[in-house]
């Protein structure tokens, strides 16, 4: 019980990257922009992408233990990593 009181003040000084929002536009080299400007656990706002193509970007960059919000031309999620996931193909 005493350990809880000991570590409780330290929790006020921790800072998560979810404090930052990374805005990405489909029209401006999004993979390069994410790699150079965003950090893991940033909130990713990805705009100007058709609904049908969003699943590809979501599978590359988003965490699946957090919510992914989608609409017709954009989506928002928590960034898993600034590099896209590797793809495994059967061919």
pLDDT digits 0-9 by tens, 13-49: 555 567 899 999 989 899 999 999 999 999 999 999 9
More confident residue, 68 or 26: 68
Distance (Å, whole) CA 58 – CA 65:
12
More confident residue, 5 or 77: 77
Q: Both tokens of residue 50?
A: 């058709």
pLDDT given for residue 42 in this prediction: 97
Distance (Å, whole) CA 67 – CA 29:
25
Q: Cα–Cα distances in Å, from 29 out to 6, 19, 35, 72, 87?
A: 47, 24, 10, 20, 20
- For the chain, give every domain's residue range: 16-78
pTM (predicted TM-score): 0.76
């Amino acid at each position: 019980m005493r350990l809880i009181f000991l570590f409780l003040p330290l929790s006020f000084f921790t800072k998560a990257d979810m404090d930052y929002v990374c805005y990405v536009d489909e029209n401006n080299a999004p993979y390069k922009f994410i790699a150079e400007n965003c950090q893991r656990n940033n909130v990713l706002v990805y705009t100007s992408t058709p609904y049908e193509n969003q699943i590809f970007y979501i599978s590359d960059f988003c965490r699946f233990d957090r919510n992914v919000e989608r609409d017709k031309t954009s989506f928002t999620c928590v960034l898993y990593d600034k590099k896209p996931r590797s793809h495994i193909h059967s061919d």
